[in-house]
A and B are shown apart, each in its own frame.
Chain A
Amino acid sequence: MPDSLINIIDLGKTIENREIVCPVSFSIFSSEVLTFIGPNGAGKSTLLRMISLISFGDTGKIEYSIPGCKEVTIDFSISKKISIDQPEILTMRQNMLYLFQKPAVFSTSVLNNLILSGKLRGQKFTEKECESVLHKVGLIKTIHQNATTLSGGEMSRLAFARALLLKPKVLFLDEPSAHLDPMGVKSVEEWICELKTEYKTSIFLVTQDLFEAKRVSDRVGFLLSGQLIELKSNQEFFNHPSDPKTCHFVKGELPI
């Protein structure tokens, strides 16, 4: 069994009396691609946001043992008042990265977007380093263009440029291919592979795209109405799903 980087224990969240994520427990291992699939409103993004410490859960705890960092346990059930600015939470966030479903950019040039991203992490990048990742993601021509004028797909590419430059220990991807053409999807999957194999990044991905999950994942989980129905290795999940709900979803049938 590889080392687990993040242990999620009974993590749950309720918003306005609706249980968005029912207490779930699982682990994210080092340099693996873990994918959660599920329909709209299954709680995928909420789960991702909680683990990446952008928002907080209501119950349960998360244990982080990220290499090069102190081990940190964040217990949502005890200390109700957790601040996003707490030093240990800040350190964790600086070692992880979340790529949003709707990519966000700063209203400045593409190049400055990368430099500014590095600055926020306390990392300094030369123009050459930035140029080389922009070349890789196919944005070199837009290097001096304002990032807000990019198309949705180009913004997704810029988000990946950020990930390739910052090389986070853990990367969270929320529907990474949502805005991309087939060529873009292929590139994204190559970058995911590159981050995993070359930089030992652990990747936690959520998507509705079964085929993408099948192509890139080491392990796959099925999330439905905030509940983790099943979590198995890629092959096991698609070939021998044990839960009937997973069977339906994997076969593309509508759940009853």
Chain B
Amino acid sequence: MIISLDPGTFQALFLSLRVTLVALLLSSIFGFPIGIFLAFTKFKGKKLIMNLVYTFMGFPPVVAGLIVYLLLSRSGPFGFLKLLFTPQAMILAQIILSLPVIIGLTVLGLRAIDISVYELSITLGATKTKASYLLLREARLSILGALITAFGASISEVGAAMLVGENIEGLTRSMTTALMLETRQGNFDRALALGIILLLLAFLVNSILVLFGDIQGIKKNARQLD
């Protein structure tokens, strides 16, 4: 089965990948700027916000699923959109899960780097914008780490996918929900095969991310992510 990939498995694989990557992209678009803002600005209530972000990093997926379910259910505030049990609903749930991860890890990464690089750039004659960019570049490994973590959490997640997707074959059946179904039906060989494919997929995507990080980084760099 691993080699042949029947159409059902292929669909599940494609859906998992699509949901995860779209959610990751949208979370990045919003998450990185918010993270940068939170890392470098001081304001009242920042501690509370950071505390919430860190709490949401460990958000139980089932709870995220429940919230999306309630929002999108027919009697919920967004019920008219008729999005429940669609891939879009799954993406929304994944965003709730991965956005805090990206924000939180970006803030932590930027805090850990040496802020003196900013002043070094300033004394060398850089403008504020250029100095900020150089500072961000120092945090490229943390940014990569945030992406990998968010991807991992998202692709392996099953609770929310089950709740808001309902595991409809060909529409919202993902790798993880398919795996659960096969296990329940006692098809352990199929379940195991799905698990292996899922792991291979995660390995492939992470390899691409790490490779990208290497290119972004500097060759002959002693601090590569190995």
A121/B125 in contact, CB under 8 A: yes
B223 in contact (CB, < 8 A): yes
A93/B125 in contact, CB under 8 A: yes
Interface flags for B193-226 (1: CB within 8 Å of A; 0: not) read 0000000000000000000000000101111000
Provide the bound-state CA to CA distance between A144 and B192, in Å. Answer: 46
Please report which residues of chain A, range 64-121, place their CB below 8 angstroms from some CB of chain B when the two chains form the complex.
84-85, 90, 93-94, 96-98, 100, 102, 104-109, 112, 117, 120-121
A225 in contact (CB, < 8 A): no
Give the Cβ gap from B172 to chain A, nearest Cβ, in Å: 43
Of the listed stretches A145-153, A198-206, A247-255, name the one at the interface; the rest are far from the partner chain: A145-153
Given the complex, which residues of B lie within 8 Å of A109, measured CB to CB? 218, 220-221
A98/B128 in contact, CB under 8 A: no
Given the complex, which residues of B lie within 8 Å of A166, measured CB to CB? 124
Give the Cβ gap from A125 to chain B, nearest Cβ, in Å: 13
Number of A-B contacts (CB under 8 A): 69
Provide the bound-state CA to CA distance between A100 and B114, in Å. Answer: 13
A100/B116 in contact, CB under 8 A: yes
A121/B124 in contact, CB under 8 A: yes
Give the Cβ gap from B129 to chain A, nearest Cβ, in Å: 8
A149/B218 in contact, CB under 8 A: no
Q: How many residues of B contact A (CB 8 A)?
A: 23
Given the complex, which residues of A lie within 8 Å of B122, measured CB to CB? 54, 84, 93
Give the Cβ gap from A101 to chain B, nearest Cβ, in Å: 10
A109-B218, A120-B130 known; A104+B117 contact, CB < 8 A: yes
B138 in contact (CB, < 8 A): yes
A120-B130, A144-B220, A148-B223 known; A106+B120 contact, CB < 8 A: yes
Interface flags for A145-182 (1: CB within 8 Å of B; 0: not) read 11011000000000000100010000000000000000
Provide the bound-state CA to CA distance between A84 and B130, in Å. Answer: 12
Given the complex, which residues of B lie within 8 Å of A97, measured CB to CB? 123-124
Top 10 closest pairs, chain A to chain B, by CB:
A94-B125, A104-B116, A104-B120, A146-B222, A98-B123, A120-B124, A108-B218, A85-B127, A121-B125, A120-B126
Contacts A/B (CB < 8 Å), 17 sampled: A54-B119, A54-B122, A85-B127, A96-B123, A98-B119, A104-B120, A106-B120, A107-B138, A107-B223, A108-B218, A109-B220, A109-B221, A112-B218, A120-B124, A144-B220, A146-B218, A148-B223
